[in-house]
Amino acid sequence: MIAVGTILIQPLGNKNEWMAMYGGLLLVVGMILIAFLQIAFPRLRRYIFGVPTVLIMNGEINVENLKKARMTMDELEMRLRLVQVGNINDVKVAVLEASGNLTVLLNEDQKAATKKDIQKLREEINQLIHVVSKRKVISLKKIKINRIKNVHQKIDPLFKEAITEDK
C-alpha cells in the first residue's frame, strides 16, 4: 500500500495533473493486467503471489517447510500463541498463507464449543433432569456441587516458555 501511495503522490508533487492521472491510470491498468494474467494462466499465480506452506500436520512440525518459509521455531511458537494455541500437539494443520498469515486448524477435541453445542448440551441436561425427577431416583435438592478452592491451572507449554523467559 505504501508503494501505491508513493506512485500516486509523486506526480502530484510536480503539480502536473496530467502526470498524476497518467500514474493512476498506469497503476489501474497494471493491476487489471496482473488479475487477467492470473485468471488466464493459473500457473503464473504461484510465481506472482506464492503458494501456502503446511508447517504443522497432526502436531508434527515440518522442519523442511519451516526452513523454506525462512521461519524460526520461536517465530512459529509466537504466531501460535497469538491465535491462542498453547500446545503444538493440539494443532491438526497450520498453514503459512501466501499473504504471510498463519492459519491454524485445531484437533476436534481442542476446538471451542459453539453455540449449537452448548444448546444441545442444555437440552440433554434438561431431559436428564426430567427423567431423574420423574423416577424420583435422586432428590434434586440433595445434589450438591463441590467447589474446589485451590485450582492449579495447567499452563500450556508454549505459554509456559514465554512466561519463564520473561522472568
Q: Report pTM.
A: 0.58
What are 85-112's pLDDT values in tens digits? 888 999 999 999 988 899 999 988 888 8
Architecture of domain 53-110: 2-Layer Sandwich (3.30)
Sheet holding 60-61, edge to edge: 60-61, 53-57, 91-96, 102-106
Break the chain into its structural domains and give their ranges.
2-48, 53-110
What are 32-82's pLDDT values in tens digits? 998 888 888 888 878 877 888 999 999 899 999 999 999 999 999 999 999
How far apart (Å, rounded) are the C-alpha atoms in residues 162 and 77?
9
